Each structure stands twice: as C-alpha cells, then as structure tokens.
C-alpha cells in the first residue's frame, strides 16, 4: 500500500505462483514485498480420512497465498470413518506442525455455510484427475446459489500426487507397510495410520 493510502498494484507472471503455467500475467496487490491474494483468509474443507500427501501439498501451497488458512474437517454422521473427527484433527495438526498460519476446525452440515459462518470469502478445493472437474463444477455452482459472496478456488494437485486419495489409502491398507504408506502419507502420521489399520 502506498503512503497516501491507495493500493499499489503490479503485474506479475503467474509462473511466480506455485505450479502455475508460464507466459501469463495478472495484476495483484503489493503488500510487504510478498505476493499474496487480496483476501487474507481462506478455508480448505474436506473429510481428510486420513490426511494424505496430496492434501498436504494443497495446504502448503495455499498457506503461501493466504495469511490464515483454516482446514475444515467435515463430520458425516451417516458414514463410519477410519478416524474420528478428533483424531483427524490431531493427525492434520501433526502433519502441518511446520506451518504457522494453519488452524484446524471440525464442522457438520453444509460446507459453504461453515465457510460463511467463519467469515471467509474463499473456499479452496483440491482437484486431482480431470475426472474430478465436472462434479466440482456442479458443486461450485450450487454453492454460488447458496452463498454468492463465497468464491471457490480450485488448486490442482502436484503431478506426482494426482493419484493419491484417502480412498486409495483404505484400499491398500490391508497389504501396505510403513515404507508403502510413506509414499502417500505425511511422515509424522504414518505410524498412527498403521496402528489404526492393525486393530
């Protein structure tokens, strides 16, 4: 921000942002010599049962774009999760302990209402393969009808992690060992997931 109170803007290459294509430009506000999206607060919701390296990839990149990032752990009473909501919160906190602008909360009901109640304007959705896109677009349009003030930011998973999902973890669990899980889960939570599966 300039001394007269007006907002200074500059043109940067999208390639300056993590995992963005080259040769495209966008205008962004300049604040404290760091590149961040105009809003300071975003919510990344999901079931995270369990939290994977794909999830961590999205969180780490989003944490560089926003001053504060809330990870919302959705609770579906009709499903039997591998981990309880409290356990999922603990696992996420362990996996993201190196990040200082992360908050982990649980919620029930409509995700967009949870985001709205927190006062956030940006909801982050991680997208893996291209087959996720139709369903995500449908949900985005429904959310826009319910809460027009909230925007959905799609973040594509890193190429090496595009196949990683919580469902995959559950599928390979019966035959996976610690070394196998290390390819899909953050290191701080591998042992806890193994212990749960062994029960």
Annotated catalytic residue within 10, 24, 79, 145: 79
Residue 141 has pLDDT above 90, yes or no: yes
Q: Is the pLDDT of residue 4 over 50?
A: no
Domain match, 25 and 53 both: no
Q: Report, as an integer, the average pLDDT of 42-68.
A: 95
Whether the CB-CB separation of 50 and 89 falls below 8 Å is answered with no
CA 60 to chain centroid: 8
Active site residue 166: yes
pLDDT at 118: 96
* 146 shares its domain with 74: yes
128 is annotated as an active-site residue: yes
139 and 171 fall within a common domain: yes
Residue that has been written with the tokens 């780490």 in this structure: 60
Specify the pTM.
Answer: 0.77
Q: In total, how many domains does the chain have?
A: 2
Catalytic residue among 47, 63, 165, 166: 166
Q: Does a cis peptide bond (omega within 30 degrees of 0) precede residue 85?
A: no
Judge contact between 104 and 68, C-beta under 8 A. no
pLDDT for the residue 21: 47
CA distances from 22 to 13, 14, 17, 29, 94 (A): 7, 6, 10, 20, 34
Whether the per-residue pLDDT at 16 is higher than 70: the answer is no
> What pLDDT score was predicted for residue 164?
74
Q: Look up 170 and say whether it is catalytic.
A: no
| 125 annotated active-site | no
Task: Clarify whether residues 46 and 138 are in a common domain.
Answer: yes
Q: What domain range is 12 assigned to?
A: 1-35
Say yes or no to pLDDT of 25 above 80. no
**Over residues 138-150, mean pLDDT:** 94
Same domain, residue pair 100 and 16: no
Based on the fold, state whether residues 24 and 41 are members of the same structural domain.
no
């Amino acid at each position: 921000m300039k001394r007269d109170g007006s907002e200074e803007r500059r043109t940067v290459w999208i390639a300056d942002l993590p995992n963005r294509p080259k040769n495209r430009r966008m205008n962004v506000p300049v604040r404290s010599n760091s590149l961040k999206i105009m809003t300071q607060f975003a919510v990344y919701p999901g079931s995270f049962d369990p939290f994977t390296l794909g999830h961590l990839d999205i969180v780490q990149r989003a944490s560089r774009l926003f001053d504060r990032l809330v990870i919302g752990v959705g609770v579906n009473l009709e499903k039997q999760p591998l981990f309880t909501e409290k356990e999922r919160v603990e696992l996420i906190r362990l996996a993201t302990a190196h990040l200082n602008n992360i908050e982990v909360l649980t919620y029930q009901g409509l995700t967009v209402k949870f985001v709205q109640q927190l006062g956030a304007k940006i909801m982050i959705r991680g997208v893996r393969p291209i087959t996720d896109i139709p369903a995500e677009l449908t949900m985005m349009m429904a959310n826009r009808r319910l809460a027009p003030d909230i925007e959905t930011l799609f973040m594509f998973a890193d190429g090496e992690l595009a196949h990683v999902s919580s469902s995959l973890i559950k599928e390979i669990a019966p035959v996976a060992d610690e070394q196998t899980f290390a390819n899909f889960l953050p290191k701080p939570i591998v042992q806890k997931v193994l212990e749960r599966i062994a029960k």
